[in-house]
Amino acid sequence: MALGLVIAVLLIWWTLHDVSAAEVWDHIRNVRPLPFTLSIVLITLTFPLRTVRWQYLLRLEGEALPFIPLWHATAIGFMSTNLLPARAGEFARAYAARRLTGVRFTTAFASIAVERVLDGITLVALLVVGIWAGGFGSDTSIGEDATLGGIVRVAGVMFLLLLIMALAVVHWPRLAIDVTGAVSRRILPDRWSRGLTALVEGLVSGLDVLRSPRRFAAAAFWSLVVWLTGAASFWLAMNAFGLDVPWSAAIMLQSLLAFGIAVQLSPGFFGQWEALCRITLPALYGVAVGPAVSFAIGFHLGGFFPITLLGLWSLSRAHLHLADLRRGGLQEGDGVEPGSRA
């Protein structure tokens, strides 16, 4: 946590080092209220839309899980991402799903991994659209070392390989489980070997959506809905701050931000988000640094508070505490012990 806070402070200092605080405040104070409010409503709406998608990805004994407990787990997970370091929200979300629905922790966590692969593939596709619509060449630079074409190639290959690996595991599950058991028995004590094998069984169960073309197609459709809703939110926020950019800038910036914060360096992505906006908007669209930074700070804070407050409310409804989330996950065991359904 301390290291994350240091990184956040350093990145925010770099983002603001040559920008007047008075200029930033002036831009935020004069934001157009209607499009900004609508942008915050839409960015918050992406979380219940993610919950709808999760219903296709996560099953308990073959049955779809009810929306409300999954919504509470989703809100708790993203609230934890905002308040805790190092993508702790992904573990907190799986832990909350286990407590609220009885699904195995590893099954829930594997379904979140599939979700992330779908997100990555969707964002690569949208990034290609943004490059085409913006008239950029694949060699267009962002910063000193990255090009748009390079980002598309690396991300596309990585997420495609992850999907192929997941498909291989889910279509030959017995092989994955048997190999894990055979190898672990040779190098680990028997109790640990059995635990690792149970872990793999839970992960395989969480990949079950890949067996069903209908469920996978539905999850892919909702992935597109989630990210198009997010892009609409970005577009409204850009208009609210008076940024003179084409509509494709919303798709482009959202995709680049999502890839840029894939590795969480600071709680709530503070510093990371602002630095990426400062780099991207001036480099690709010629936006002045002051308005770019003001947009980044205002929109980030606007989207941060609703899901954080909703997550804290869900945490209370589920009778959990932040300390439970820090301790949660595998160390709590991975049985199918049902929790209370909020």
Taking only the tens place, the pLDDT of each residue in 269-325 is 899 999 999 999 999 999 999 999 999 999 999 999 999 999 999 999 888 777 666
pLDDT, position 86: 66
The pLDDT of residue 201 is 65
Q: What is the distance between the alpha carbons of residues 24 and 29, in angstroms, rounded to a whole number?
A: 9
Give pLDDT tens digits along the chain (342 positions).
Answer: 677 788 888 988 989 888 888 889 999 999 999 999 999 999 999 999 999 999 998 887 778 899 999 999 999 999 999 988 767 888 899 999 999 998 888 888 888 888 888 899 899 999 999 988 888 877 787 766 778 888 888 888 888 887 777 777 666 666 666 666 677 677 767 766 666 666 666 666 667 777 788 888 999 999 999 999 999 999 999 999 999 999 999 999 999 999 888 887 888 889 999 999 999 999 999 999 999 999 999 999 999 999 999 999 999 988 877 766 665 544 444 443 434 444
Contact 139, 129 (CB under 8 A): no
Q: Return phi, psi of residue 64, to 5°.
A: -65, 145
pLDDT value for 144: 67
DSSP state of 64: E
| 264 contact partners, CB below 8 Å, separation of at least 6 | 4, 81, 85, 86, 87, 272
What length is written for the chain? 342
What distance in Å separates the CA atoms of residue 167 and residue 155, rounded to the nearest whole number? Answer: 18
CA 55, chain centre distance (Å): 17
Count other C-beta atoms under 10 Å from residue 183's C-beta. Answer: 12
Q: H-helix or E-strand containing 330?
A: none
User: Could you tell me the two tokens for 276?
Assistant: 């990426």
- Return the closest-CA partner of residue 53 out of 95, 116, 125, 133: 116
Mapping DSSP to helix (H, G, I), strand (E, B) and coil, where does residue 146 land? strand
The structure tokens listed for 160 are 């495609």
N- to C-terminal Cα distance for the chain?
A: 30
